[in-house]
Amino acid sequence: MPLPALARTVGLCYGRRNREVNELVRLFEKADIWRLASLESSERGVTMSRVRCVWHTTLLLGLFTGLDVPVTNALSAQMLSVSEATIEDINAAFDSGSLTSEGLVQLYLARIQAYDQEGPRLNAVLWLNDKALETARALDAERRVSGPRSPLHGIPVALKDNIDTGDMPTTAGSLLLAGSLPPDDAFIVQKLREAGAIILAKLNMSELASGVTMSSVGGFIRNPHDTERSPAGSSGGTGAAIAAAFAQLGIGTDTGGSVRGPTTANGIAGLKPTHGLLSRDGIVPLALSFDMAGPMARHVYDVAAMLGVMTGIDPDDVATSKSADRFETNYTQFLDVSALGNARIGVARDFLGQDTEVDWILEASLEAMRAEGATVVDVYFPQWLLDAKGDWYTTIRWREFRAQIPEYLATIGPEYPKTLSEMVERSMEIASLTPEGGTPNPTRWSLLIQEEQSGALDDHEYIAMKNYGLPMAQSIVAGLMDAQELDAIVYPTSPTRPSLVNGGGGGGVSATNIANLTGFPDLIVPGGFTSDRLPVGISFLGRPFSEPRLFGLGYAFEQATKVRRDPKLTPPLLGEEIRR
């Protein structure tokens, strides 16, 4: 959001008269914020109430932008840092000849070298594709001869390490699967390669997509905004890598918030799609009732562009049949800066009150939506659903992992465990050792025991929750939206700021697993920053297969606010600007 608009929004939120708000706008334009914050009441007729307002607005400037003072982009209108450039910008640079795919891959490899195991040591990358540059050169040659295959032609993508790649290991971050080379690519990876995307890296993650944001293969992952903070899980490596600009695009997976937590914690955009919109073939399962891959990127445009490349009916995943006649291959066509103008937005107030600054950012985000013409109304979920959703999720998740992981294990080599019981046995063997290049993960491995003892898919509790509980949740949420004719329900993606790496902070009662219980889509857009420079994301929850509408709303919000900021710990490297 431009600074004058930000000052006006915050001033209005604080109930100031229009004349006083105009004064704030003028003062912000002068950019002398720290002097303003210390003004005496006698100076220039400024009242103490105005001083307080300026002080709070100074604080909120940090909340929304993550900046100490207003800054001016030093790059010309024709130059962008690699982190600022969208796929559209990069394709313009490809077309003009100012950039090649090989050059872009080199830029990202340089950033990985500078910031993953050096500098802040984010520890987000597990494996690099040693053929990435060779592939980029081939795609550059193909572009010159026959043009691009798609907007993703020559674009580097990084994958969470539970997504199969036939030419790189897939371990789900676990020493129990160390060195495992899948027989082929996951369905969505095949689609990406067919579109000309370059698989650049496999990324660290919460082991087996659950637990703390570390893996026995790669150790702890760090948040590029503050290395003492967690990047959240389980797609923490994807969130950190995309925020730090280690690739243009990333893919995570989401069973109970694992795309959305890292998206908000790292200050980027992402989508948990409608259940069935993307194939889960070739993805290490956690619970197929909930599992979905999801695109993650620094810009809503890029999330939309990547999603369309990966959709399609997969005969190996029956859930994709739900998307027949409902999926798109080009979601960028729905990006509309005016989409909020006729929108009815519900705000889920059930998830506020856990972090004051997160609440402030949501309120300012709602004000920005109103300023764009949206009607905003309060909504509340039934208390019984809020009380029950955690138990429903855990009951289904644990039992399905126990029953479904053997089917995946059957596709990999005979040297690996074939059942959850064998995984438990192997973890006990490894825990007594100090693995070379690995770190035992007793927290996650102890959870394997609970999952192994959780029960089967034929017990009455699982059947009741699967066959009756989930449809009931879908009906309740859809009915809530229908009753108020809502286009989306918004809430802070996480009700608190990112937790400390050692587990302090964070937590809170979150809305995220509502999207998993219902299978509904959830688009996350950067909403701002807390006073300690930590990102906060805003979720847009929609009806099944309403991704086109959500992209319109999210893009309009993103373009009206423009609060995303690069992490200070991973600044641009010399010479990495892109000329459009």
**Could you tell me the residue ranges of all domains in the chain?**
3-65, 79-384+464-570, 386-463
Rounded to whole angstroms, how far apart are CA atoms 322 and 313?
A: 9
Tell me: pLDDT of 15 over 80.
no
Predicted local distance difference test score (pLDDT) of residue 79: 86
Residues 6+ apart with CB under 8 A from 139: 101, 153, 154, 196, 198
Residue 441, pLDDT score: 87
**Closest Cα to residue 1, out of 560, 573, 458, 568?**
560
504/496 Cα distance (integer angstroms): 12
Q: Among 43-47, 114-118, 469-473, which stretch is predicted with the lowest mean pLDDT? A: 43-47
Return the pLDDT at 38: 36
Q: Is the pLDDT of residue 508 over 80?
A: no
Amino acid at 308: G
Q: In this model, does residue 46 exceed pLDDT 50?
A: no
Res 262 pLDDT > 80: yes
Tell me the pLDDT band of 68, cut-offs 50, 70 and 90. Answer: very low
Q: How confident is the model at residue 2 (pLDDT cuts 50, 70, 90)?
A: very low
Helix, strand, coil % over all residues of the chain, rounded to 5: 45, 15, 40
**Vertex 244 angle, CA 336 and 84, to 5°:** 40
Higher pLDDT, 386 or 73: 386
CA–CA gap between residue 230 and residue 245 (Å, rounded):
17
Q: Per-residue pLDDT for 151 more than 70?
A: yes
pLDDT value at position 575?
A: 87
Give the 3-state secondary structure of residue 340.
helix
Round to whole Å and give the CA distance between 512 and 518.
11
Q: With bands split at pLDDT 50, 70 and 90, how would you rate the model's confidence at 430?
A: confident
Strands (E), 431-566: 488-492, 522-529, 535-541
Give the whole-angstrom CA distance, residue 124 versus residue 264.
Answer: 16
Provide Rg for the chain, Cα atoms.
Answer: 23
- Residue 3 near residue 33 (C-beta atoms within 8 A): no
Q: Which residue has the tokens 């620094």?
A: 298
Alpha-carbon distance 544 to 347, whole Å? 18
Q: Which helix (H) or strand (E) holds 294?
A: strand 292-297
pLDDT at 433 over 90: no
Q: Which of 128-132, 425-429, 535-539 is the least confident region?
A: 425-429
pLDDT at 23: 54
Residue with tokens 């340089």: 110
Q: Tell whether the model's pLDDT for residue 394 goes beyond 50.
A: yes
Smallest CA-to-CA distance from 287 within 201, 396, 129, 436 is with 396
Q: At residue 108, does pLDDT exceed 70?
A: yes
pLDDT at 143: 99
Amino acid identity of residue 255, one-letter, is T
Name, in order, each residue with C-beta under 8 angstroms of 504's C-beta and a sequence gap of 6 or more.
none
Q: 407 pLDDT exceeds 60?
A: yes
Listed in order, strand segments (DSSP E) in 303-357 are: 344-348
Section 545-572 average pLDDT: 98
User: Which residues sit opposite 491 in a β-bridge?
Assistant: 539
Structure tokens at 325: 């006649």
Assess contact for 186 and 283: CB atoms under 8 A. yes
Which pLDDT score, from 0 to 100, does residue 580 have? 78
**Cα–Cα distances in angstroms (integers) from residue 17 to residues 8, 38, 56, 195, in the given order:** 10, 21, 16, 54
Mean predicted confidence (pLDDT) in 237-253: 99
Token pair belonging to 452: 């192994």
Name the strand (E) or helix (H) holding 272: strand 269-272
> How are beta strands 198-203 and 125-128 bridged, if at all?
antiparallel
In which band, very low, low, confident or very high, does the pLDDT at 435 lie, cut at 50, 70 and 90?
Answer: low
Share of the chain above pLDDT 90, in %: 79
Q: Token match 């009756």: residue? A: 468
- The verdict on whether omega for the bond into residue 234 sits within 30 degrees of 0, i.e. cis, is yes
Are 28 and 2 spatial neighbours (Cβ–Cβ below 8 Å)? no
Q: Which residue has the higher pLDDT, 139 or 12?
A: 139
Map residue 375 onto helix, strand or coil: strand
Instruction: Report the distance separating Cα 299 and Cα 282, nearest Å.
Output: 27
Q: What is the pLDDT of residue 512?
A: 87
Confidence of residue 377 (pLDDT cuts 50, 70, 90): very high
- Residue 29 predicted with pLDDT over 50: no
pLDDT of residue 509: 64
Q: How far apart are CA 105 and CA 320, in angstroms?
A: 32
- pLDDT over 90 at 551, yes or no: yes
Of the listed ranges 35-44, 228-237, 364-373, 538-547, the least confidently predicted one is 35-44
Q: Which of 51-55, 282-286, 575-579 has the lowest mean pLDDT?
A: 51-55
Does the domain at residues 79-384+464-570 carry the CATH identifier 3.50.50.60? no
| Contact of 38 with 58, CB cutoff 8 Å | no
User: What pLDDT band is residue 370 in, cutting at 50, 70 and 90?
Assistant: very high
Bridge partners, residue 294, by sequence:
252
* Cβ atoms of residues 457 and 399 within 8 Å: yes
Compute the average pLDDT of residues 11-33. Answer: 47
Q: Measured between alpha carbons, how far is 88 from 285 in angstroms, rounded to an integer?
A: 33
In this predicted structure, what is the pLDDT of residue 288?
Answer: 99
pLDDT at 49: 44
Query: 77: number of CA atoms within 13 Å, CB side?
Result: 0
DSSP string, 186-251: -HHHHHHHHTT-EEEEEE--SGGG-SSSEETTTEE--BTTBTTB---SSSHHHHHHHHTTSSSEEE
Q: What are phi and psi of 180, to 5 degrees?
A: -65, 125
> What integer pLDDT is reported at residue 34 of this predicted model?
32
Query: Mean of the per-residue pLDDT values for the chain?
Result: 89
Identify the band that residue 78 occupies on the pLDDT scale cut at 50, 70 and 90. Answer: confident
Residue 429's pLDDT band (boundaries 50, 70, 90)? confident
Q: Which residues are catalytic?
A: 160, 234, 258
**Is residue 19's pLDDT more than 70?**
no
Q: Is the pLDDT of residue 10 over 50?
A: no
Asked whether 83 and 245 are in contact (CB, 8 A), the reply is: yes
Bridge partners, residue 293, by sequence: 253
Going by their DSSP bridges, the two strands 375-379 and 344-348 should be labelled as parallel
Q: What is the pLDDT of residue 24?
A: 53
Q: Tokens representing 200?
A: 């650049």
